[in-house]
Chain A
């Protein structure tokens, strides 16, 4: 029972990701763009449980977020899977201060990767209409997302990592 309740906390935080993705708190935004929330959960989870687990949960997150957004032509799954695999290869750092900055940098890179993959899908879909040039200015979405994700990651990821570690020890 105790084991389930401890695991349940990680899953409750997992479920909170799509909720905050839908909630879209505008006061946390920059140029109308939000941080890429799933990475805040995926980074500490993959760091503790490894690449395979990261891949699986990246897929799960991608499936949930795709079902919440209306874009039937574009998907977030490839980006999140890739991030899950890459984050699983990141080693925990003993120096907490360096670790904090690393979370920011890694999440920013992950956000850039996901944003670039999503953007390339949009460009690819509109390539045949030769309207793809119209989409170039929306690169600002990627840049704002990268900035915000990197800004909030040290704060959120370090706390989640601490929670996941303590759960892992107790279980």
Chain B
């Protein structure tokens, strides 16, 4: 009887050390099965600060930024000169910064109310841009506030330009977050990813303000092609905007 009890207490699973070994074995087995992915991932995070080329990448990006900036300034000057020659509408530099004090970005009523009004020089049909591009046009001003019709509002209709295929279109707000682009040509080769900006031919908007990107293309209706546009500027997240005072021709 005593012998039996002694043997049973000496079984291998009664020893803690054996269990530790077993767990380590299981862990290593898992590492083997996963082909060392845990080790690799750990190494990724540990070695990240010491990677070669991180500093080099920053230097290169800075140089590219500088080059782009210089190019942009040169192109702006060139653009102004050509516009003067062609006597087209000029982009204005009279900007007013304003903050959003009320926003309605859902349902049918899509508008922003800004904290700058007629006393600050805001006028009806001024252009409102935010981080990303065009947001809409000032539709109403009071002494201290101005109301902006967003591009997504069913009231909004603006002329736009699709640069890749060099064609004008009409951007119509339809009461959802993605306004519709109407191109009055059945054969227009519009593609998903095309950039849409304000039209150089428009008398309402200054030219070349980025607006959005083609998200999907609809079926042609009566010699018209339609597309849904995803806007660059997100009115539901913007707190500060710029009001551009447009010189109308």
Chain A positions within 8 Å of B, measured between CB atoms, are 22-24, 26, 29, 31-34, 69-74, 118-119, 122, 130-131, 133-135, 137-138, 140-141, 144-145
Cα distance A31–B103 in the bound complex, in angstroms: 15
CA separation between A151 and B125, bound complex, in Å?
39
Contact at A22–B106, with CB atoms within 8 Å?
no
Q: Are A24 and B182 in contact (CB under 8 A)?
A: no
Q: How far is the CA of A135 from the CA of B221 in the complex (A)?
A: 14
With both beta carbons as reference points, the residue of chain A lying nearest to B182 in the complex is identified as: A131
A145/B107 contact (C-beta < 8 A), A22-B113, A70-B140, A71-B154 known: yes
Interface centre among B109, B147, B222, B236 (most CB of A within 10 A): B109
Contact B221 A130, beta carbon cutoff 8 Å: yes
Whether B106 lies near A71 (C-beta < 8 A) is: no
- Quick check: is B105 within 8 A (CB to CB) of the other chain? yes
Given contacts A70-B147, A135-B174, A141-B175, contact A24 B102 (CB under 8 A): yes
Q: Give the chain B neighbours of A134 by CB distance below 8 A.
A: 172, 174, 180, 182, 226
**A33-B106, A69-B109 are known contacts. Are A133 and B177 too (CB-CB below 8 A)?**
no
A22–B153 Cα distance when bound, in Å, is 16
Chain B min CB distance to A143 (Å): 11
Q: How far is the CB of A40 from chain B (nearest CB, A)?
A: 16
Check: B111 CB closer than 8 A to any chain A CB. yes
Shortest Cβ distance from A36 into chain B, in angstroms? Answer: 9
Q: Does B149 contact A (CB under 8 A)?
A: yes
Given A70-B153, A131-B182, A134-B226, A24 and B103 contact (CB-CB distance below 8 Å): yes
Asked whether A70 lies within 8 Å of B236 as measured between CB atoms, the reply is no
- A69 to B139: give the CA distance in the assembly, Å: 10
Nearest A residue (CB) for B102: A22
Whether B144 sits at the interface, judged by CB under 8 Å, is: no
Chain B: residues with Cβ within 8 Å of the partner, total of 28
The reply to whether B180 and A32 form a contact with Cβ atoms under 8 Å apart is no
Chain A minimum-CB-distance residue to B105: A32
- Asked whether, in the complex, the Cβ of B108 is within 8 Å of the Cβ of A24, the reply is no
Name 5 interchain pairs, CB-CB below 8 A, sorted by A: A24-B103, A24-B106, A32-B106, A135-B154, A141-B108
Cα distance, A144 to B147, chains bound together (Å): 25
Question: Contact at B174–A34, with CB atoms within 8 Å?
Answer: no
CB pair B108–A70 under 8 Å, yes or no, is no
Residue of A nearest to B218 (CB): A134
In the complex, the answer to whether B102 meets A23 with C-beta atoms within 8 Å is yes
Q: For A145, what are the chain B residues with a Cβ–Cβ distance below 8 Å? A: 107
Bound form: Cα–Cα A34–B153 in Å: 16
Inside 8 A of A29's CB, which chain B residues have their CB?
106
**A71–B236 contact, CB under 8 A?**
no
Chain A residue contacts of B182, Cβ below 8 A: 131, 134
Residue-wise, chain B 171-187 has the 8 Å CB interface mask toward A (1 for contact) of 01011110010100000
From the candidates B149, B172, B176, name the one contacting A70 in the complex (CB within 8 A). Answer: B149
Residue of A74, A134, A145 contacting most chain B CB atoms (<10 Å): A134
Give A30 to B40 CA distance when docked, in angstroms.
43
Minimum distance in angstroms from A127 CB to a CB of chain B: 13
Complex Cα spacing A144 to B176, Å: 12
On chain B, the residues within 8 Å of A72 by CB distance are 155
Q: Quick one: CB contact mask for B6-44 with A, threshold 8 Å, 1 for yes?
A: 000000000000000000000000000000000000000
